[in-house]
Structure 1
Amino acid sequence: MKRRMIYVAATIGLAAVAMAAWTITARAGYESAEYEVIESDGNIEIREYPDLMLAATDSKMDAQGRDGSFMRLFRYISGANEDGQKIPMTTPVFMEGDVGESDVSMGFVMPKEVAAEGVPEPKGDGVKIRKREGGRFAVIRFPGRLDSRVAEEQEAKLREWMKSRGLEGETKAEAAGYDPPFTPGPLRRNEILIRLNDAANTDAES
């Protein structure tokens, strides 16, 4: 019996390692939005982001794209645009707005090459192209399923850390998800981002 339990535990462990390796490999297959890490403290970072171009649509935070928002964006990058252009998927998917509320804007980051050459206009309603202004952000990273409750908890932790450092940021936060919906919760990469105001940026650089 003891040997069997060891075998089962080893099998589960190997499966977990294999799933983790698969998740990392899957993420590596996508272009990811660039940023520079200014400061790191455990699972919290201060990052500098450049301007990013997003294809965005209205979404429900708790739906995680099951309200049709994800598919609207997916159809856009699959060719539902004025050029009929297929655009590679990238990470992360940004969700901007009041993270603790249900109504947010879900956005796919446009690849650097597409942004440089000109982002094609969407066909039909529901998808808009807009610029996400670059700047300095406080960011907390965490696993699990992302919903309004989790987002509120992580945002509170991040704001407490910012307060301890004398950093001030915008009242609204963003969420970012890096994994497909079928990725197991413990292997998922989620983030909450708060844009630091100009005074905080100046203080951090001085």
Structure 2
Amino acid sequence: MVYIAGLLGFLLVLTVDARVGSSSESEVCGKETKECLLHTPLCQGKDYEVRLYDSTKWVSTDETCVFMGWATMKAFRRLFKYITGANADGVKIDMTAPVVVKVENKPLFEKKNFTMSFLLPSQFQLDPPEPTDDKLYINTLPATKVYVRSYGGWMMSGTDSAHARTLRGKLDEAAAQYNSDFHYGVGYDSPWKMTNRRNEVWFVVQGEPVCPPASP
């Protein structure tokens, strides 16, 4: 009984640490999904904000392409099949938010590596179904602090690159240290939502985060 109680307590801690929960708990999450990635806000100003995300499990796939739009279209189809039952357990998995794309930082018209990831719902964070497509894999993202810039419209090669450049400029002005090899393009809305869309660019913090100037 002591062993079982201890095990249950350990699993509970893991579930809490994952910070995947009701979309209504977060101001940045929409209402299209039941669950989303939750975060701890560290600071926010006129140029960017800083957030802390706990370690979470995702299902991911890679594409190498020039344009983000083409890469993400192919990757999204693959991942969508996984959550609609093309997995080792044959289970359907609820869509969550956000969808995250890791983008290699290279010039606009060069081939880049893209990794698209779907966040696994809380019930699958401890034991996710294995993919049956060998181009998919379960990916654990470690606890991470990120610099964030938000924008509307559609996340495509041009818009993502433009906002990533803007954020990098603001971080450089603030003498903030960050990983410049890649950034994350982050989308909160389904492809079928036409208005009031939310996207973000993330850079991973290195060292101690530098808070932005306060909003006027």
Q: TM-score, normalised on structure 2? A: 0.74
User: What displacement does 1:180 show?
Assistant: 1.4
User: What displacement does 1:44 show?
Assistant: 2.1
Change (3 A) 1:65 1:152: closer
- The residue that corresponds to 1:73 in the other structure is 79
> Among residues 86, 93, 98, which one is paired with 2:99 in the alignment?
93
Contact 1:102–1:148 at 8 Å: present in 2 too?
A: no
- d(CA) in 1 for partners of 2:173 and 2:149? 15
User: What displacement does 1:97 show?
Assistant: 2.8
- d(CA) in 1 for partners of 2:188 and 2:133? 27
Contact 2:102–2:114 at 8 Å: present in 1 too?
A: yes
**Equivalences, count:** 175
| Bigger radius of gyration among the two | 1
Q: SS where residue 150 of structure 1 aligns?
A: helix
> Among residues 147, 159, 173, which one is paired with 2:183 in the alignment?
173
User: What displacement does 1:50 show?
Assistant: 0.5
Q: SS where residue 150 of structure 2 aligns?
A: strand
Matching of residues 36-55 of structure 1 within 5 Å: 36-42=40-46, 44-55=48-59
- The residue that corresponds to 2:163 in the other structure is 154
Q: SS where residue 73 of structure 1 aligns?
A: helix
Q: TM-score, normalised on structure 1? A: 0.77
1:125 aligns with 2:134: yes
> Among residues 28, 33, 46, which one is paired with 2:31 in the alignment?
28
- d(CA) in 2 for partners of 1:175 and 1:102? 13
- d(CA) in 2 for partners of 1:165 and 1:127? 38
Q: SS where residue 191 of structure 1 aligns?
A: strand
User: What displacement does 1:179 show?
Assistant: 1.0
User: What displacement does 1:90 show?
Assistant: 0.3
Contact 1:43–1:142 at 8 Å: present in 2 too?
A: no
1:113 aligns with 2:119: no
Q: SS where residue 130 of structure 2 aligns?
A: coil
- The residue that corresponds to 1:3 in the other structure is none
> Among residues 174, 181, 200, which one is paired with 2:208 in the alignment?
200
- The residue that corresponds to 2:114 in the other structure is 104
- The residue that corresponds to 1:11 in the other structure is none
Contact 1:58–1:106 at 8 Å: present in 2 too?
A: yes
Contact 1:62–1:102 at 8 Å: present in 2 too?
A: no
Gaps of 5+ in 2: 1-26, 212-216
- d(CA) in 2 for partners of 1:149 and 1:48? 27
- d(CA) in 2 for partners of 1:55 and 1:131? 9
Contact 1:43–1:141 at 8 Å: present in 2 too?
A: no
Gaps of 5+ in 1: 1-23
Q: SS where residue 91 of structure 1 aligns?
A: coil
- d(CA) in 2 for partners of 1:173 and 1:94? 10
Contact 1:55–1:109 at 8 Å: present in 2 too?
A: yes
- d(CA) in 2 for partners of 1:43 and 1:178? 20
Structure 1 residue ranges, 4+ long, deviating more than 4 angstroms after superposition: 99-102
> Among residues 83, 86, 96, which one is paired with 2:89 in the alignment?
83
